[in-house]
Amino acid sequence: MEKVERVVLASPRGFCAGVEMAIKSLAWMTRVFEPPVYCYHEIVHNQIVVERFKEMGVIFVDDLADVPEGAPLMLSAHGSPPQLVDAAQARAGTLVNAVCPLVRKVHHEVKMRARKGYSIVYVGHEGHQEAVGTAAVAPEAVHRIEHMEELEALPEAAGPVAFLAQTTLAMDEWKTLLDAAKKRWPELWVPGTSDLCFATTNRQTALKAIAARCDAVVVIGSHTSSNTRALERTARAAGCPTVLRVDSPDELPTDLAGTVGVIAGASAPEEVVQDVISHLGPSEGVEEVMAVDEDEYFPLPRELREVVRQLAALAAVAGVAPGGDPSTAGDKLPEDRELSASMALAGLAD
């Protein structure tokens, strides 16, 4: 019988700084507020994470009308349309906006370029929450595209043109579109720092570093996750003969053999990575390949920091930290940096 000989494990992988911040924020909310806590859209695009929070009583909604007036409400990491943020502010008792700072950066770029009279070519997936939220910053100026034909079909612009993007695209696909846009509009404005975030580019770089050696690549993450789907396409473009995307190990086929590469999208928990490796059971073990060092950290949203700071000032409430050890009740709450999203998720089961 064929069997898996070796797992080549790509690094960095899994939770990025933005996802870490969002998960810890929602975990805090479940500890700080009377249930139920509401979350507008999935906090991150991962079914396992969302189900864990549902078990804790978090109610995910796609319509603000489903949030009772005065309830605690979180907005997801993908960013929300400014109009929705305003409406949520008016409706929620406490609103925590867990938008990733790197998505917020693109919102700012859209706002500034639109104000200066630019037409904005924005590369983003149709219907994806991040793209919807970003385009809504200046809908009159943004032309969302995804494919080359859409770029070519854009009308001539009356004024200057800017080129912006969703943070989680496949690098090579984005670069092809960027090169074509530069040819069409030689004066094209492009941000000094790419809109593709470090987590997206690092995971794709890590995957490229291992893909050529692998008989198959397993990408861990949900089908709704843009950066996970970009990893799938990156592995295929690298010539990997078999590419599989799974949410959990029970979706793995039984006929994998030889060297199997493993990587996880930015919203996939490390515990699933370890479960997948156990399931594959490589006879010659696991080789981890670190392509890029990644140590970014994003603090909790400002509005939640203050709540947590007040809690931390009350030593008696130690142990309310998500992931905190109840046996240490009376100790200081851990610094946010010391608390990982995995700990927070595990702590939800307490």
Q: Provide the annotated active-site residues.
A: 130
Position with the least CB separation from ligand SF4: 18
Which residue lies nearer to ligand SF4 by CB, 105 or 184?
105
Q: What is the rounded distance in angstroms from the CA atom of residue 230 to the CA atom of residue 210?
A: 16
Spell out a b/e string for 139-169, using b for 16 or more CB atoms within 10 Å of the CB, else e. Answer: eebbbbbbeeeebeeeeeeeeebbbbbbbbb
Which residue lies nearer to ligand SF4 by CB, 17 or 177?
17
Q: Min. distance of Cβ 96 from ligand SF4 in angstroms?
A: 15
Q: Which two tokens stand for residue 241?
A: 């003969």
Q: What is the rounded distance in angstroms from the CA atom of residue 264 to the CA atom of residue 236?
A: 15
Asked if residues 249 and 278 have their Cβ atoms less than 8 Å apart, the reply is yes
Strands 94-97 and 4-11: unpaired
Asked if residues 47 and 60 have their Cβ atoms less than 8 Å apart, the reply is no
Q: Min. distance of Cβ 232 from ligand SF4 in angstroms?
A: 15
Which residue lies nearer to ligand SF4 by CB, 56 or 197?
197
Q: Min. distance of Cβ 303 from ligand SF4 in angstroms?
A: 18
Which residue lies nearer to ligand SF4 by CB, 97 or 167?
167
Footprint of ligand SF4 (CB under 6 A):
16-19, 77, 100, 102-103, 167-168, 197, 199-200, 227, 266
Q: Min. distance of Cβ 9 from ligand SF4 in angstroms?
A: 20
The phi, psi pair for 331, rounded to 5°, reads -80, 170
